[in-house]
Chain A
Amino acid sequence: MERENEVELARQLIAGEPEAFDRFVDYFRARIFHYSWLMCGHREDAEEVAQETLMKVFESADQLREPEKVKPWVFRIAKNACLTKRRKSIYAPPRELSLDEFLPARHQDGDQVRLEIADWSSLPDGKALQSEMKRLLEKAIRELPETYRSVVLLRDMEELSTQETSQILDVSEDVVKTRLHRARLAIRKRLDEYLRGNATEVGEARHGTAPAQ
C-alpha cells in the first residue's frame, strides 16, 4: 500500500468510517507482524507484539489526530514492544559494521579497473523476486546486527522517512543514514556472493550459535 493510501486509511479510522477498523487492523497487523518477526525472530512473539501494538494505538487517541503520523506512531509502539518481548536473540550479535568490510576488491585489467562483483545486469528489477532470492534476502536481513536491521526494515521495507525513523528509534538522522547505508551494503554483499555462485553458509553456522545478548 502506498503511503498516501495508508494515510487515507488512518483518516477513515479516526473518522470512524464503516469498515475502516477491519481494513486498518488487517493491514497494520500484517505489517507489524512482519517487522516484529524479523526483529524478534519468534512467530508467537511477533503475533503478541502485533496485538499489543494495536491495543496501544487505539488506547492513545491523543496521538491519533493527525493521520500522517499514525504509521510512525504504530512502529514506535511496535519497536518498544519488540524490545520488551525480546528473548535471547538467535540472530547476529551486536556489533558495528564498518564501510571497509563492504568495499569490493578492485583489480587492473589492462588499462581498465574492474570490481570483483557479480553481473547484476541480468537480475530482474525487483518485481519478480524469485523464491531463492527472497530466502536469501531474508537471511541477509536476519544476519544484520539488530540496530542495523531495525533501520533497514523501517526505511526500505516500511518506507518511512529518515526523520520518522530517527524519531521511532531515538537516534539522530545522521545515525539513521549511516546505519541504513551499511545495512544495505551488507545485504548487497550477501546477494553478490550468491550471484557469483560462491555463497558461503557462514550465516547458517552463525544462525544457531550466536551468543546470548
Chain B
Amino acid sequence: MEQHQHNEKCQEVFALLSDYLNLELPPEACQDIEAHIAGCPPCIEFADSLRKTIDLCRQYQPAELPAPLGQEAKAQLMEAYRRMLSSQTNSKLG
C-alpha cells in the first residue's frame, strides 16, 4: 500500500515537473514536490534529465541562418522605420 502511494506521488510529480522547474507552482506545492523528490532517486534522475533537456533547448543556436539582407529589402525596412520615427515625433508635437 505504501509503495502504491509512493508511485502515485511519482506520477503526480511527473505531471507537475515543468511547472516546478519554471517556478510556476505555489510554495506549498513546491515544498510537497521537494519533500517527495528528496527521498525518491528515480524522480531525482528523471527531473535531472528534464532539466538538462530544457537547458539544451535554451542553449540551442540554429544551424541555419537567413541569407544576407538584400539592398532592396533593407531600403524598404529603413523607409518604414523613418516613417515610424516621424509619426512618433508628429504625435509628440501634436
Contacts and interface: CB of A to CB of B under 8 A. Distances in A.
B50 A184 contact: yes
A103 B57 contact: no
A181 B17 contact: yes
Contact of B80 (A33, A37, A59, A185): A59
A50 interface: yes
B2 interface: no
A126 B77 contact: no
Contact of A133 (B54, B56, B73): B56
What is the interface of chain A mostly: helix, strand, loop, or mixed?
helix
A162 B50 CA distance: 18
A181 B18 contact: yes
Nearest to B88: A61
B15 interface: yes
Interface residues of B, number: 45
Interface string A158-185: 0100100000000000000100110011
A96 interface: no
Nearest to A103: B14
14 contacts: A21-B78, A29-B69, A30-B66, A33-B64, A43-B64, A54-B77, A59-B83, A61-B84, A177-B18, A177-B19, A177-B24, A180-B18, A184-B57, A192-B49
Interface of B: 7, 11, 14-15, 17-19, 22, 24, 41-42, 45-46, 48-50, 52-67, 69, 73-74, 76-78, 80-81, 83-85, 87-88
State the 3 A-B residue pairs at the shortest beta-carbon distance, nearest first: A126-B55, A181-B18, A58-B80
